[in-house]
């Protein structure tokens, strides 16, 4: 139990540091966000201090049980920037 208590502060610090590494769309232009998604194929982009989402350039970055849905986010120069797509679960009609 003592080891767990000693590890918790390090885990919290690592989590905060990794959240800081996520690019924030509010600090990017629309063109920069679009370029990031297009060149990487997929990117995690923040939209605030603790909010972020994964965006993809096309369906090949989704699982076989998913499809794409257009995604927009707010950037420094546009309220609605079409950055790429979200991966969403496919719905079956069975």
DSSP state string for 51-78 = -EEEEESSGGGS-TTEEEEEEEE--SS-
User: pLDDT class for 5, splitting at 50, 70, 90?
Assistant: very low
Percent above pLDDT 70 for the chain: 76
Q: Report pLDDT for 93.
A: 61
pLDDT exceeds cutoff 60 at 69: yes
pLDDT digits (tens, 9 = 90+) for 50-66: 899 999 999 999 999 99
Segment 35-48 shows an average pLDDT of 95
- The residue ranges of DSSP E strands in 1-94, in sequence order, are 42-46, 52-56, 66-73, 81-89
User: pLDDT class for 91, splitting at 50, 70, 90?
Assistant: confident
pLDDT exceeds cutoff 90 at 17: no
85: nearest Cα among 64, 61, 63: 61
Segment 9-13 shows an average pLDDT of 47
């Amino acid at each position: 139990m003592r080891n767990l208590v000693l590890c918790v502060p390090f885990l919290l610090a690592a989590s905060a540091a990794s959240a800081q590494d996520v690019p924030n769309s509010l600090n990017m232009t629309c063109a920069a966000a679009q370029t990031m998604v297009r060149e990487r194929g997929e990117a995690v982009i923040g939209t605030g201090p603790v909010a972020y989402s994964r965006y993809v350039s096309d369906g090949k970055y989704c699982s076989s049980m998913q499809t794409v849905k257009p995604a927009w986010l707010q950037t420094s120069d546009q309220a609605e920037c079409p950055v790429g797509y979200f991966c969403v679960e496919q719905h079956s009609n069975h």
